[in-house]
Amino acid sequence: MRRAVWLFVIALLLAAGWTVWQRVPTLAIAEWDFAGNGWRIVAYDWAGLSYLWPLALAGALGGFFLFGIAFAWGYDWARDSDHRHQIARLTDKRDRALAEAEARVAWREQAAQQAQERAEQIRLEALQAKQQAQAQAQTAETHVERYRLRARNAICAAERIKRKTARSEP
Note the pLDDT tens digit of each residue in 26-41: 778 888 777 777 887 7
Give pLDDT tens digits for 97-147: 999 999 999 999 999 999 999 999 999 999 999 999 999 999 999 999 999
Give pLDDT tens digits for 52-107: 778 778 888 888 888 888 888 888 888 898 999 999 999 999 999 999 999 999 99
Q: What is the pLDDT of residue 2?
A: 64
List, in order, residues 6 or more apart from 4 with CB less than 8 Å away: 78
Residue of 46 and 110 predicted with greater confidence: 110
pLDDT band at 170 (very low <50, low <70, confident <90, very high): low
